[in-house]
Structure 1
Amino acid sequence: MHIPFSSSPSSSLGIEWELELVDLQSRHLRGSATEILEDLRAKVGEEGAAKAKHELFESTIEVITGVCQTVPEATADLLGTVEVLRDLAERRGIGLMCSGTHPISEYSTQKITADDRYDRLVGRMQWLARRLLIFGVHVHVGVRSPEKAMPIVNALMSYIPHFLALSASSPYWLGSHTGLASSRSRVFESLPTAGLPYPLHDWAAFEGFMETLVTAGTIETIREVWWDIRPHPNFGTVELRICDGLPTLLEVGAVAALAQCIVDRMNTQLDRGYRLPAPQRWVVQENKWRAARYGLDAEIMVDDHGTVRPVRTDITDLVEDLLPVARRLGCETELTNVDRILTAGASYTRQELAARRAGGDLTAVVDTLLAEMNAGRPVTHG
Structure 2
Amino acid sequence: MKLEFAPSARSTVGIEWEIMLADPESGDLVGRAPELLAALEAESEDERHTVTGELLTNTIEVTSGVGDSVAHAIDDIASAITAVRSATDPAGIELLSAGSHPFAQWFDQEVTDKTRYHTLIERTQWWGRNMMIWGIHVHIGVEDHRKVFPIVNALSGYLPHLQALAASSPFWAGERTGYASNRALVFQQLPTAGLPWPLHDWSQYESYLDDMVRTGVMADATEVRWDIRPAPRWGTIEVRACDGMSSLPELASIAALVQVLVEDFSRQLDEGRTLPEMPAWFHRENKWRAARYGMDARVIVDAAGTQRPVREHLTEILERLSPVAVELGCGREFGGVATTLDDGASYERQLTIANATGGDLGAVVQHLIREFRSGPESSIDEP
- Counting only pairs closer than 5 Å after superposition, residues 1-382 of structure 1 correspond to structure 2 as 1-41=1-41, 44=43, 46-48=45-47, 51-382=50-381
1: CA distance, partners of 2:41 / 2:124:
32
Structure 1 contact 37–49 (Cα < 8 Å) conserved: no
Q: CA deviation at 1:254?
A: 0.3
1: CA distance, partners of 2:234 / 2:303:
34
Deviations, residues 263-306 of structure 1 (Å, cap 9, x unaligned): 01111211221111111111111111111000000111223444
3-state SS of paired residue (1:91): helix
TM-score by length of 1: 0.97
| Aligned structure 1 segments of 4 or more residues deviating by more than 6 angstroms | none
Count of aligned positions: 381
2: CA distance, partners of 1:238 / 1:49:
20
- Which letter maps to 2:289? R
2: CA distance, partners of 1:147 / 1:368:
45
3-state SS of paired residue (1:327): helix
Structure 2 contact 41–51 (Cα < 8 Å) conserved: no
1: CA distance, partners of 2:356 / 2:60:
30
Deviations, residues 95-132 of structure 1 (Å, cap 9, x unaligned): 11100000010111101000011111111111121110
1: CA distance, partners of 2:49 / 2:267:
33
2: CA distance, partners of 1:171 / 1:214:
36
- Which letter maps to 2:28? H
Structure 1 contact 41–48 (Cα < 8 Å) conserved: no
Deviations, residues 172-223 of structure 1 (Å, cap 9, x unaligned): 0000000000000000001121000000010000000010000000001111
2: CA distance, partners of 1:379 / 1:27:
21
- Which letter maps to 2:250? E
Q: CA deviation at 1:61?
A: 0.5
- Which letter maps to 2:370? A
- Which letter maps to 2:7? S
Alpha-carbon RMSD across the aligned residues, in angstroms, is: 1.3
Q: CA deviation at 1:379?
A: 4.2
Structure 1 contact 184–244 (Cα < 8 Å) conserved: yes
Uncovered stretches (5+) of structure 2, i.e. residues with no partner: none
3-state SS of paired residue (1:47): coil
- Which letter maps to 1:21? L
- Which letter maps to 1:143? V
3-state SS of paired residue (1:337): helix
Structure 1 contact 248–378 (Cα < 8 Å) conserved: no
Uncovered stretches (5+) of structure 1, i.e. residues with no partner: none
C-alpha distance 345-89 of structure 1, shift in aligned 2 (>3 A): same
2: CA distance, partners of 1:257 / 1:377:
17
Structure 1 contact 182–293 (Cα < 8 Å) conserved: yes
2: CA distance, partners of 1:181 / 1:106:
19
Name whichever of 263-272 and 220-229 sits farther off: 263-272
% same residue: 45
1: CA distance, partners of 2:30 / 2:344:
28
Structure 1 contact 141–263 (Cα < 8 Å) conserved: yes
Q: CA deviation at 1:339?
A: 0.5
- Which letter maps to 1:303? D
